[in-house]
Amino acid sequence: MRKPIVLVIMDGIGIGKHDEGDAVFRANTPVLDWLMENCPHTQLKAHGTAVGLPTDDDMGNSEVGHNALGCGQIYAQGAKLVNNSIEDGSMFRSHSWQQIVANNVSNNSTLHFIGLLSDGNVHSNISHLKAMIAQAKVEGIKRVRVHILLDGRDVPATSALTYVEDLENTLHSLSDSTFDARIASGGGRMKVTMDRYQADWNMVKLGWETHVLGIGRQFSSAKEAIETYRKEYEVIDQDLPAFVIADEMIPVGPIQDNDSVVLFNFRGDRAIEISMAFDYSDFDKFDRVRVPNVFYAGMLQYDGDLKLPKNFLVSPPAIKDTLSEVLVSHGVRQYAVSETQKYGHVTYFWNGNRSGKTSEELETFVEIPSDMVSFDQRPWMKSAEITDHVLDAITSGQYDFIRVNYPNGDMVGHTGMIDPTIIAVETVDLALSRLMKLIDSFDFTLLVTADHGNSDNMIEVTKAGVKQPKTAHSLNPVPFIIYDRDTDYKIKPGEYGLANVAPTLLKIMGYQAPKSWLPSIIE
């Protein structure tokens, strides 16, 4: 091995247009600016086909981004997997779908769908939901209830009514004397159900009460709930409170014994906890009050090691020959660290959707608990603590490859608030300055990149020409920088994506990449 490496992933910090909505450009980033001016660097594609998504109109995300960074290859991901499964009919031939049909038809029971209602293609796509509802009618299921989680994060911040109207039109066109399909409950994705990394189980508890028990503030329609909450709370879609649809004070769709439930999100991180509540008989994170006997399935299996959920409609990509596996085969000691919000990304997603380590002896994973506050109120998050751990790992002399994720640019960027996001970007730059002081002393190579853009594009213009906060990821490229005082690396001409990082890292370390990998960025 030539030299040990520190890889910094500046989550959500892309290369923007240098305009008023580009918080990266507007931030004071002397270290990042110096690196870009003085070191070998290039731009990486971090969205669309470069990370296995269907088209280049699809924004990247942290999950597929870390998959690509960690495996050196491009696999069909998320929406593309589900699209293919619906188009070729394999979803409806799957064992789980056939069990759903058998359960609902034999028991004359209700099929429930829970998931994010948008076409953001990050967690879900409304087209998948509509296809499954239509197929349910074809196969003789009599009742469908949909529990909608409102987005405003991967799509425009106040676009929920567009998707509600689209779904309501579909349900109306399908409903007749033999088929009854309705929206039953809902709420904003950052308030209800879609917690991740066990950061806030109260979100999941509220989701259980809302979707399963039918407990909550009642409205006659989802549109009424959204319009009422917007007036009362003046918040964007992702922060709207929970609601229950009712007829004459009776909820239209609580989940009962013998029903079936499909979580139609395809992304895993915010699907795991609600899946645990349905799948685990010994679940103890909160009092479920009533646990209906249902057939539960996820769109995908969200955690292959935990086998969660037991039932799923579409098989995930079988990612093999990950960077961690290659390094372990060479006896390379690895260290991964982030705070709770992105800990799973430098471990689970990095390692090809595997929860465990490739080697207990050679891999060290460190999670720093995230603060339980809104990210705009504390945009520095846990960057200082993360950096402390990285510095300790460097000085220990125990590790040959250290990877670190700073979540600030992504998590604060998702709030849509540009001033806190500027601080978030500056915080990451400060962390880089601290790392740089030790990189030379301990003879490391520093690689700096990102998994996708976000904070680089914080303002969008509506069709009416009105500027509004943009909370979704961007389609912008991300930087890839090599800092090494002893070696002048040469960037090969060409276009590169996130999956080219792993082979580049291996080349710097002096190891051969698997034949299935993409080429290295350097000569």
Catalytic positions: 62
Q: How far apart are the C-alpha atoms of 215 and 456, rounded to whole Å?
A: 40
Residues 6+ apart with CB under 8 A from 92: 86, 135, 139
User: What is the β-pairing status of strands 143-150 and 110-117?
Assistant: parallel
Looking at this protein, which amino acid is placed at residue 86? Answer: I
How far is CA 1 from each of CA 45, 205, 288, 329, 401, rounded to the nearest angstrom?
Answer: 28, 49, 53, 13, 11
Per the CB < 8 A criterion, the answer to whether 152 and 163 are in contact is no
Burial of residue 493 (number of CB atoms within 10 Å: 0-12, 13-18, 19+): exposed
Instruction: Quickly count helices (H) and strands (E) in the chain.
Output: 17, 19
How far is CA 55 from each of CA 49, 63, 114, 170, 264, rounded to the nearest angstrom?
Answer: 6, 17, 25, 25, 20
Q: Which two tokens stand for residue 110?
A: 């209700």
Per the CB < 8 A criterion, the answer to whether 111 and 140 are in contact is no
Burial of residue 126 (number of CB atoms within 10 Å: 0-12, 13-18, 19+): buried
Q: Which of 502, 394, 514, 517 is nearest to 447 (CA)?
A: 502
Give φ, ψ of 63 to 5 degrees. -70, -55
Q: How far apart are the C-alpha atoms of 77 and 50, rounded to whole Å?
A: 11
Phi-psi region of 352 (alpha: psi -120 to 50; beta: other; left: phi over 0): left
How far is CA 241 from each of CA 120, 161, 212, 230, 477, rounded to the nearest angstrom?
Answer: 21, 15, 16, 10, 34
Q: How far apart are the C-alpha atoms of 79 and 294, rounded to whole Å?
A: 26
